[in-house]
Amino acid sequence: MSNETPVEELFTQMDSIRHAVRHSAEETLRKTTKKHRKELVEILQRPERHRHVRAILECLFQFPSRKLLEELTFLLDHPSNGVRYEYAEIVAKSGKSYTVPLIEEFLRDPNHLVRLGATNGLSDRAESSFSKAFARKVGPFLYRFICDYPDDNAPWRYHALEVYDPVLFQKYEAACEEGDSLHPIVREAFDVGEHFESHRMAVSGFETHPPGLKYIYATHYVDAEIRNGGISELHGNSAWVLMPDAIEGMNRFGCRKLSECLKEIVYYYHRKGRSKLKRRITDEYFSDLPPRWNKSLDVLEDQYYSSFRRLKTDNVSDLWDRALTKTPKLFERSDSGENE
């Protein structure tokens, strides 16, 4: 007979190989009440439950409070950046004014993943309701963060700043556009892409724009998914549909090794019948790969990062900047108003 409590049993069920069992456990967990807080905090401290950290935090933050933040202080120094990422995102997304000092701490964290978590949370909250007090406090912090970490790969932070503090957003835009030829191009690329409800719809939304904008949009999201969760997460998320454009974009940017690596990532799934890109990619697309090609995801991931190292950068925006200098026509509108 199991000695597990009802809540502990839910986490055991969440590890089941059966989807129905996992789904039922997740639904039940969402119905936990305040009386389970102490038990959930205790479970959160167990190393074997770190894979469930997001589910636990989402349950706990159904009832956010200052007391809860005190009980979760141990997460601030957690050895796993992934765990701290989840905590930063959940705290920032809560939209509570008393969390702002903690959010500021996340935005100053030396690890980019933790900063990204806080940025994601603030961006999500910007799309829903929040108090004037929250916006008044978080706007200046977000502005300083964007200025202090210009290379952080999180374009949605600009929209969040625009929502929380339009005046500071305009100040930032004016400063960036002065002497920075890439900034307005990047802004236009995301303005076009994010106008659509999904990446799939955005794929055809760049047809009347310079091709470089589509390549910026695609390479950004593909790169962000690989860096945040690995190739398998990219394949499982909506950004996967951008892979053909990212492959083409890296090639047009003059980054042949990165383009080849992305193509091989698609081939890894294509040969298993799981490419999810059959309407855009056929077997002929991979005709330049050797017949006995057989690489693992780990090898491909190492290959991806080593390709960046050869280019002496780990930031995809540096590749856009170089492309703007070497192939400016990719970002120019044709005289007829039509583009490639």
pLDDT in tens, 265-274: 999 999 999 9
Count the neighbouring beta carbons within 10 Å of the beta carbon of residue 116: 24
Amino acid 151: pLDDT:
72
Amino acid 194: pLDDT:
80
State the DSSP code for 333.
Answer: P
Distances (CA, A) of 218 to 158, 225, 240, 318, 320: 18, 11, 9, 15, 12
For the chain, the structural domain boundaries read 1-63, 64-178, 188-340
Which long-range contacts link 198-203 to residues 24+ away (Cβ below 8 Å)?
Answer: 198/238, 199/238, 199/239, 199/241, 199/242, 200/238, 200/241, 202/242, 203/241, 203/242, 203/245
Tell me what the mean pLDDT of segment 147-166 comes to.
83
- Does the structure show a pLDDT above 90 at 204? no
Angle between helices 297-310 and 256-270 (to 10 degrees): 170
The per-residue b/e assignment along 287-315, b for 16 or more CB within 10 angstroms, e otherwise, is: eeeeeeeeeeeeebbebbeebbeebeeee
User: Do the beta carbons of residue 213 and residue 188 sit within 8 Å?
Assistant: yes
Amino acid 209: pLDDT:
92
Check residue 79 and give left, alpha or beta (phi > 0: left; psi -120 to 50: alpha).
Answer: alpha
Going by C-alpha positions, the residue among 110, 107, 114 that lies closest to residue 82 is: 114
State the DSSP code for 277.
Answer: -
Amino acid 130 reads F
- Does the structure show a pLDDT above 80 at 126? yes
Angle between helices 316-326 and 211-229 (to 10 degrees): 160
User: Do the beta carbons of residue 244 and residue 312 sit within 8 Å?
Assistant: no
Distance separating alpha carbons of residues 154 and 118, to the nearest angstrom: 11
pLDDT-based confidence at residue 176 (cuts at 50, 70, 90): confident
Phi–psi pair at 57, nearest 5 degrees:
-65, -40
Helix (H, G, I), strand (E, B) or coil at 110: coil
Amino acid 11: pLDDT:
66
Most confident of 46-60, 106-120, 153-167, 258-272: 258-272
Distance separating alpha carbons of residues 120 and 102, to the nearest angstrom: 15
- Does the structure show a pLDDT above 80 at 177? no
Amino acid 116 reads L
Q: Is 126 exposed, middle or buried (0-12, 13-18, 19+ CB in 10 A)?
A: buried
Amino acid 280: pLDDT:
86
Distance separating alpha carbons of residues 234 and 229, to the nearest angstrom: 7
- Residue 102 CA neighbour count, 13 Å, CB half: 27
Distance separating alpha carbons of residues 325 and 212, to the nearest angstrom: 12
CATH 1.20.1420 fits 188-340, yes or no: yes
